[in-house]
């Protein structure tokens, strides 16, 4: 499996993903700072504790990388079927299940790692900016920062599973637009941020969506031997 993962990474040259993640972190930081600054002035969104800041950061990061995951699914799986290049891979002396599992494992790994790192980077950048240009009337201590990083882990795990849901829509007609478009619908549900209805922090919903994503991935792997690559 590890050998297959390395082959996938070499084949698709994922440098674009790393660059995209870095640029996204800068954009997310700028948006979060702007939103919180405006919210503090207008009072539209109550930001009174550092937990409120981290919820907004977490929602923004998770929404971004659910979409990124759908792009990975489109490139590593859907386009392979659409262009019939998957047929070449099926000639390898490796089972189809392992081939598809390796692709989905790579997508899940990249999604989880970039979400964790991006949460840390964006939160760190926000804290530094807040020191020099006060946006909120409080600072985050090192212990609070570490505590929030630990709290991110279960949500990152859940979101990794959730990010696999677009696979179902993409595989129906081997459609890249459907894959990416469905990720926006998933984001609208999983990352909905409202102080009165905080779906983004409602862990039963997040775990439920993750379970759906894992089941979709499992069924996709289980049925791959009987699927025709068009």
Q: Quick check: 228 pLDDT over 60?
A: no
Q: Band of the pLDDT at 73, cuts 50, 70, 90?
A: very high
What pLDDT does residue 90 have? 66
Q: Do the Cβ atoms of 158 and 89 come closer than 8 Å? A: no
CA angle 21, 22, 28 (to 5 degrees): 80
Residue tagged 């499996």 (tokens): 1
Q: Band of the pLDDT at 192, cuts 50, 70, 90?
A: confident
């Amino acid at each position: 499996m590890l050998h297959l993962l390395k082959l996938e990474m070499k084949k698709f040259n994922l440098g674009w993903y790393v660059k995209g993640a870095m640029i996204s972190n800068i954009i997310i930081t700028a948006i979060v700072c702007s939103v919180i600054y405006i919210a503090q002035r207008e009072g539209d969104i109550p930001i009174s504790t550092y937990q409120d800041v981290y919820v907004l950061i977490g929602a923004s990061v998770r929404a971004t990388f659910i979409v990124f995951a759908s792009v990975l699914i489109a490139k590593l799986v859907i386009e392979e079927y659409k262009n019939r290049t998957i047929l070449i891979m099926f000639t390898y002396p490796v089972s189809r299940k392992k081939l598809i599992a390796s692709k989905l494992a790579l997508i899940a790994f990249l999604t989880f790692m970039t979400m964790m790192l991006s949460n840390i980077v964006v939160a760190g950048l926000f804290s530094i900016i807040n020191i020099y240009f006060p946006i909120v009337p409080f600072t985050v201590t090192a212990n609070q920062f570490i505590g929030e990083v630990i709290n991110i882990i279960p949500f990152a795990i859940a979101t990794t599973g959730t990010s696999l849901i677009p696979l179902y829509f993409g595989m129906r007609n081997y459609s890249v637009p459907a894959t990416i478009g469905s990720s926006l619908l998933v984001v609208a549900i999983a990352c909905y941020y409202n102080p009165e209805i905080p779906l983004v922090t409602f862990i039963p919903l997040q775990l439920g969506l993750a379970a759906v994503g894992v089941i979709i991935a499992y069924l996709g792997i289980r049925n791959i031997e009987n699927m025709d690559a068009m």
